[in-house]
Chain A
Amino acid sequence: MKGSATRPSDLGTTKTLMLTMAAKEGGWNDVGLNHNMPLNNPFGINRIERGKAVGNVKYPSLEAAISDWKGQFGDRVRGAQTAADFVHGLQHPQTGQPYNTDDKKYAEKFNNISMAKWMKICGVEP
């Protein structure tokens, strides 16, 4: 994540949480990456056609995708330092539809992604 407009610190949240979000929604296995990498869509952002979700957005660049996510959801996770705070913010916005509320286990699924462990193994600074 490069550029002043795309740093997790802009939102007061952490790289670990943003990478967890990407692993959850963009995928980090071959199937997920094969789908979303050509679209430059690390967060699985959906698009609307005639008022309905019709598939994942194709962005011109990763930076564009991150900036869009920040605009759509950034305020919800501002200041979040833990997975619980991050998901709570997504699912309890002051305005707009809660994030993925149809999945009653969304928070647990997010919490179980061991991003910090893999960042350490791969030498990625938190």
Chain B
Amino acid sequence: MTNLKVATVLLICLLSSPVAMGQSNSCEIVPKGLLGEPHSEWRGFYDNKVYEYSVVIPAGLVGYDVAPPAPLHGFGIPLGEAPQSYIFVSGEWNSLEDSDPVDVAVRHLRYLREGGKTIESATITISRLGELRAAELAVSYACAGSNVRYMQFSTFALASDGGTLYEITLYCLAERYALDRTVLIKVLQSWKRRAKRKAGGQCSEVCLFGA
């Protein structure tokens, strides 16, 4: 991946009061309920025909998602020993109509602040996800009343038609970041966008998937 730094924001939110409107105000790394029953498990090659991407879950790891009928966006991988890290892989409709992945990264940084996190450093860089232009968000943060440092490293990309938003995020303790990033890189490098739908709403395999 080639990175062109476009913005570096240091100690970005220290002067701002947290706004308690977000839901992600806990410091749990792996979401509660991820392994509740029923759930789906994925290993190895993962192909999401609804959001048109594929990725490889590294050997020895498992991706978990809620069981249907909830929509299938992707999965989450708990990583390592407790306290586990977490890699989240997702595709979703671009419901907020973003035109640039940098805007997505900025908004996710805002989510952290609104969730009451203390942002220690944040960097947004331009990158690639597969063939797509992407934005990488690297944030170091702490939770209220705690000296424990966490890292969030996210890659956001928009499909060339702008209709679908992709996200791959690593959440971990800061001290685990260097180790877990090697796994994240494997996931990022394996990510591919599926073939596009045909014009005029006609589909090939994608429509067969939902039929």
Contacts and interface: CB of A to CB of B under 8 A. Distances in A.
A105 B111 contact: yes
B36 A97 contact: yes
Nearest to A107: B23
Contacts of B71: 25, 43-46, 56, 100
Interface string A16-30: 000000011111111
A112 interface: yes
9 contacts: A24-B92, A27-B95, A31-B93, A31-B164, A44-B50, A56-B209, A72-B69, A102-B31, A104-B86
Given A29-B94, A35-B50, A101 B210 contact: no
B111 A103 contact: no
B121 interface: no
Interface in B78-123: 86, 88, 90, 92-97, 107-108, 111, 114-115
A1 interface: no
Nearest to A45: B69
A34 B210 CA distance: 12
B163 interface: yes
Interface string A28-55: 1111101100110101111110011111
B33 A34 contact: no
Contacts of A97: 33, 36-39, 66-67, 70
A102 B34 contact: yes
Contacts of B203: 35
A118 B107 CA distance: 20
Interface in B194-209: 197, 201, 203, 206-207, 209
Given A27-B95, A31-B93, A101-B33, A41 B69 contact: no
Contacts of B70: 45-46, 97, 99-100
A2 interface: no
